[in-house]
């Protein structure tokens, strides 16, 4: 019997027995047109059943690689299965940059954009805000382009894979820039909370980590955008001290796979992710959850989570706070509101983690928390639809693009029944 297909974390065994890997767009169109039920799988870095189907599972990883720079338009068009590591190396070589990156560069561009994947920075939108056009194979097998002036683009970027199979994305670029990363250890809880939005805005990209154990301390990672050869801004230590060596987000783990810290400047693509592209983790013994609340409720939201820290700490590898700029993408977790993201990396014990995730969701519900579409959460349709002003617009887009629900899957279908 062939080995079953799993996600990266190994907690999801996909119901599909076979993964189609077409090597041309025409072959992909034939697979889609000939299928009764289909989902597309990216690099499998989601932690829930969002990519699952008992029908046909299809990958775009073997489509011909596209990395097409348009200097004048300042865009790059990439094939959907391309991983950020490949795109960023290509655009950096050409003197350009993407505005931001997630923590791991090994995730596919299409899969990341489809779930609203983000990095950090009060001025930085989710990665999908860079999308200027999408090419996709619709559920009927027809190829379709949604361009920058098409009002459907705002609904099609964070698509949850429910509009069809994206084959290419055109991303906005800016001139390449340098980043210097500085870590501050042992930041005091009250010092961090005194003005959390200010701390989150204190560098181009800021992450604050804690394990919620006693004594409660935070580690603040600031990624400063600097002029080539220019100075690195002095760090507000918030009661802590500058790290005297490289750090891994998870206490006690060797930082060898982390991007360069200690204020050493380097290209954006080698500093914005937490992890180096040379290091390719093939699987992970972890689960992740993440919730976005309006940044103006940052302090109250963190205090609400602190109320259940005794439940959290025993199952937690690390908690990370990040900031996200407001955007206009219909299903983005930062749609319409500057956001604080509260992230939790858990030990891989789904049964133990589920009630703790539910407890966190209950604490964050008063702040209209939106869960990350690609991570572990328990919220259901009735709760989530109230949190997204464009929910019904997405319903209409789905009805138009996929009237029979052929590519929706059970997970997305539970939120968007047809």
Residue 157 makes contact with ligand FAD by CB under 6 A:
no
Pick the stretch among 14-22, 85-93, 114-122, 213-221 that binds ligand FAD (CB under 6 A): 114-122
Residues 312, 212: Cα–Cα separation, whole Å: 7
Sign of dihedral through CA atoms 17, 21, 22, 28?
A: positive
Q: Which of 41, 208, 292, 319 is close enough to bind ligand FAD by CB under 6 A? A: 41
> In angstroms, what is the minimal distance from the CB of 101 to ligand FAD?
8
Contact flag: residue 35 with ligand FAD (CB under 6 A):
no
C-alpha to C-alpha distance for 239 and 190, rounded to whole angstroms = 9
Q: Indicate whether 80 belongs to the interface with ligand FAD (CB under 6 A).
A: yes
Tell me if 284 contacts ligand FAD by CB under 6 A.
yes
- By CB under 6 A, which span of 106-114, 143-151, 240-248, 262-270 interacts with ligand FAD? 106-114
118 part of the interface to ligand FAD, by CB under 6 A: yes
Q: Which stretch binds ligand FAD (CB under 6 A): 34-42, 91-99, 139-147, 296-304?
A: 34-42
State yes or no: residue 58 binds ligand FAD (CB under 6 A): no
Stretch that binds ligand FAD, among 35-43, 233-241, 297-305, 311-319 (CB under 6 A): 35-43
- If the CB atoms of residues 98 and 232 are measured against ligand FAD, the closer one turns out to be 98
Q: Outline where DSSP puts E strands in 278-380.
A: 286-294, 316-324, 339-347, 370-371
Task: Look up residue 257 and give its two tokens.
Answer: 């796979």
Stretch that binds ligand FAD, among 23-31, 42-50, 91-99, 194-202 (CB under 6 A): 42-50
**C-alpha distances out from residue 36 to 164, 166, 197, 308, 405, Å:** 13, 18, 48, 45, 10
Which is nearer to ligand FAD, 41 or 312 (by Cβ)? 41
The residue with tokens 């047109």 is 33
55: tokens are 């029908």
- Minimum CB separation of residue 218 from ligand FAD in Å reads 18
CB of 365 to ligand FAD, least distance (A): 21
In sequence order, the 6+-apart residues with CB closer than 8 A to the CB of 410 are: 49, 52, 53
List 42, 121, 139, 240, residue binding ligand FAD (CB under 6 A): 42
Strands lying side by side in the sheet with 165-172: 67-70, 75-79, 165-172, 131-137, 143-146
Nearest CB to ligand FAD, comparing residues 57 and 232 = 57
Contact 333, 372 (CB under 8 A): yes
- Tell me the CB-side half-sphere exposure of residue 256, using CA atoms within 13 A: 4
Residue from 5, 16, 78, 107 in contact with ligand FAD (CB under 6 A) = 107
The single residue among 22, 56, 75, 111 that binds ligand FAD, judged by CB under 6 A, is: 111
- E-only strand ranges, 63-176: 67-70, 75-79, 96-97, 131-137, 143-146, 165-172, 174-175
Buried b (16+ CB within 10 A) or exposed e, 333-361: bbbebbbbbbbbbbebeeeebbebbebbb
Contact by Cβ (8 Å): 176, 228: no
316 binds ligand FAD (CB under 6 A): no
d(CA 51, CA 111): 9
Residue ranges in 318-377 that form contacts with ligand FAD under rule CB under 6 A: 372, 374
Pick the piece of the chain touching ligand FAD (CB under 6 A) from 28-36, 103-111, 178-186, 245-253. Answer: 103-111
Under rule CB under 6 A, residue 8 binds ligand FAD: yes
Quick count: other Cβ atoms within 10 Å of Cβ 34?
10
Check residue 112 for interaction with ligand FAD (CB under 6 A). yes
* 28, 97, 114, 376: residue in contact with ligand FAD (rule CB under 6 A): 114
Confirm or reject binding of residue 137 to ligand FAD (CB under 6 A).
Answer: no
Q: Does 100 bind ligand FAD (CB under 6 A)?
A: no
The SS3 assignment for 394 reads helix
Using DSSP, state whether 95 is helix, strand or coil: coil
Helix then strand then coil, in percent of the chain rounded to 5, is 30, 25, 45
Query: Quick one: 232 or 324, whose CB is closer to ligand FAD?
Result: 324
Site size toward ligand FAD, by CB under 6 A: 33
Query: What is the C-alpha to C-alpha distance for residues 364 and 345, in angstroms, rounded to an integer?
Result: 17
Residues that bind ligand FAD (CB under 6 A): 8, 39-46, 50-51, 60, 80, 102-104, 107-108, 110-112, 114-115, 117-118, 159-161, 165-166, 284, 372, 374
């Amino acid at each position: 019997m062939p080995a079953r297909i799993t996600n990266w974390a190994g907690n999801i065994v996909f119901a599909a027995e076979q993964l189609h890997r077409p090597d041309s767009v025409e072959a992909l169109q034939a697979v889609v047109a000939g299928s009764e039920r289909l989902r597309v799988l990216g690099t499998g870095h989601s932690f829930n059943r969002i990519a699952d189907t008992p029908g046909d599972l299809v990958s775009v990883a073997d489509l011909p690689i596209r990395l097409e720079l348009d200097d004048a338009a300042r865009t790059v068009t990439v094939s959907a299965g391309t991983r950020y590591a490949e795109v960023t190396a290509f655009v950096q070589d050409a003197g350009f940059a993407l505005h931001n990156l997630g923590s791991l560069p090994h995730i596919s561009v299409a899969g990341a954009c489809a779930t609203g994947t983000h990095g950090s920075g009060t001025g930085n939108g989710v990665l999908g805000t860079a999308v200027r056009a999408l090419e996709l194979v619709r559920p009927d097998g027809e190829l379709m382009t949604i361009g920058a002036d098409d009002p459907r683009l705002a609904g099609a970027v964070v698509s949850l894979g429910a509009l069809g199979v994206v084959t290419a994305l055109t991303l906005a670029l800016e001139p390449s820039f340098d980043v210097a990363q500085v870590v501050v250890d042992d930041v005091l809880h009250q010092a961090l909370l005194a003005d959390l939005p200010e701390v989150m805005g204190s560098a181009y990209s800021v992450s604050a980590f804690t394990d919620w154990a006693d004594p409660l301390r935070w580690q603040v990672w600031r990624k400063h955008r600097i002029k080539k050869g220019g100075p690195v801004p002095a760090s507000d230590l918030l009661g802590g001290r500058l790290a005297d060596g490289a750090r891994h987000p998870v206490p006690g783990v060797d930082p060898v796979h982390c991007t360069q810290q200690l204020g050493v400047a380097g290209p954006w693509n080698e500093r914005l992710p937490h992890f180096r592209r040379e290091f390719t983790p093939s699987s992970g013994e972890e689960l992740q959850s993440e919730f976005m609340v309006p940044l103006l409720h940052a302090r109250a939201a963190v205090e609400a989570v602190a109320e259940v820290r005794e439940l959290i700490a025993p199952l937690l590898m690390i908690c990370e706070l990040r900031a996200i700029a407001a955007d206009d993408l219909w299903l983005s977790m930062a749609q319409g509101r500057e956001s604080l993201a509260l992230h939790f990396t858990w030990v891989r014990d789904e049964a133990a983690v589920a009630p703790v995730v539910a407890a966190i969701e209950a604490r964050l519900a008063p702040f209209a928390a939106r869960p990350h579409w690609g991570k572990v959460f328990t919220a259901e349709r009735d709760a989530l639809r109230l949190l997204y002003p464009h929910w019904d617009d997405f319903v209409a887009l789905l009805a138009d693009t996929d009237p029979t629900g052929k590519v929706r899957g059970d997970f997305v279908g539970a939120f968007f029944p047809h």
